[in-house]
Structure 1
């Protein structure tokens, strides 16, 4: 095992673009993190479509998340993303079991995306785009980035790219949720299709945007 000391996040990056690119990739958990978010949803939806039994579908979704968590723990790797998935499926299970309607398992995700979208839009409007705080975490000064209009503009564009998938999910999934009849199969398909694929598309757009700039990082002084 490599015993060299790992530098702090961002220490190896000399530009704003490189630091943001690295931090965004870390925040999304890479391919494995996105797969771990999708598997429990697939298990829940697939089981319900086949058996039309909410309780069994919940068990399948939670069991899938627990298995993924067990693999992480056995490998002694970071369980953060699978824990997020487990918490998410547990909340979805609570909603579905409480009402007995499989569609209600997807309501928390719709609400969460609406909340994220509203928060990011507000941050852009007040010129405190949330991506800017990634730069603050690298430089050691959480607000110094706001003194550079160019960086504020870049962070606003990046925050828009994070915001758009949230808006798309709500715009597509909420009308399906409100439609008459059992929409759980369609909601499950929409959630999977608009989950990590949209996230990958947003990240690809960010990487393209970031690849065009070379804004030097000015690190804050520690007291």
Structure 2
């Protein structure tokens, strides 16, 4: 095949799937997909607001029902705004589900700190899954590349990409592991620990995620690994 024919073939793939063609390197694809997964700054803020509402209200009033109502109400308000703007409500819905589960745990036990247990368990599950993916050499971040190339497993044929994805998965896992390491001992401590768990959850939420993302961007900025796109020969 001549170079012209190859370029024409690549152009046809570009027209058929502009999102895939927009990224020519592994690093660019991972940066874009991670930003999409986190919902950008707005998505991360929307994830934090219900927790801030719940914690602030409970610390001020010691009323679990009022705190739950504030947290859920904040999530519902954010959802209404998204719907009114006709923008993607995915991240608000995630936040609403999260605060609803937290509310169920807190109301069932009557202990405000139990609202934070689902988040601790979820982070432990994420960390364990990512660690397992690294150990078996199927790092989770590799599948981000698969969504761009159209072949979910082709990236494993390149040891360099596997190593890069393993390092990125470590960085993605670190915030989850740190949250569990800090918050679970607080949760186990005697007495009402919601006054500590709330601020810990907020501080270790999107700020910690942004720090991890910045480290990933720094790592990605150092290389330009070309993407080999899947498709018929």
TM-score band by shorter chain is: over 0.9
CA distance in 1, matches of 2:176, 2:20: 27
Aligned to 2:90: 80
Deviations 1:49-96 (A, max 9, x none): 000011110000000000000000000000000100000000000000
Aligned to 2:114: 104
Aligned to 2:29: 19
Aligned to 1:204: 214
Q: Normalising by structure 1, what TM-score?
A: 0.96
Aligned to 2:195: 185
- Flag the structure with higher helix content: 2
1:43 shift after superposition: 0.2
Aligned to 2:142: 132
Larger radius of gyration: 2
Q: Normalising by structure 2, what TM-score?
A: 0.92
Q: How does 1:10-89 map to 2 (within 5 A)?
A: 10-89=20-99
Corresponding residue pairs, total: 219
Aligned to 2:8: none
Deviations 1:101-127 (A, max 9, x none): 000000000000000000000000000
Q: Which runs of 5+ in 2 are unaligned?
A: 1-14
Cα gap change, 1:222 to 1:93, in 2 (>3 Å): farther
Cα gap change, 1:102 to 1:8, in 2 (>3 Å): farther
Cα gap change, 1:89 to 1:222, in 2 (>3 Å): farther
Deviations 1:164-216 (A, max 9, x none): 10010000000000001110010000000000001000110010000011111
Aligned to 1:175: 185
Cα gap change, 1:71 to 1:7, in 2 (>3 Å): farther
CA distance in 2, matches of 1:183, 1:222: 58
Are the counterparts in 2 of residues 140 and 222 from structure 1 also a CA contact under 8 Å?
Answer: no
CA distance in 1, matches of 2:16, 2:109: 49
Q: Any idea what SS the aligned residue of 1:123 has?
A: helix
CA distance in 2, matches of 1:143, 1:98: 44
CA distance in 1, matches of 2:181, 2:129: 17
2:139 maps to 1:123: no
CA distance in 1, matches of 2:203, 2:55: 13
Runs of 4 or more, structure 1, over 6 Å off, are none
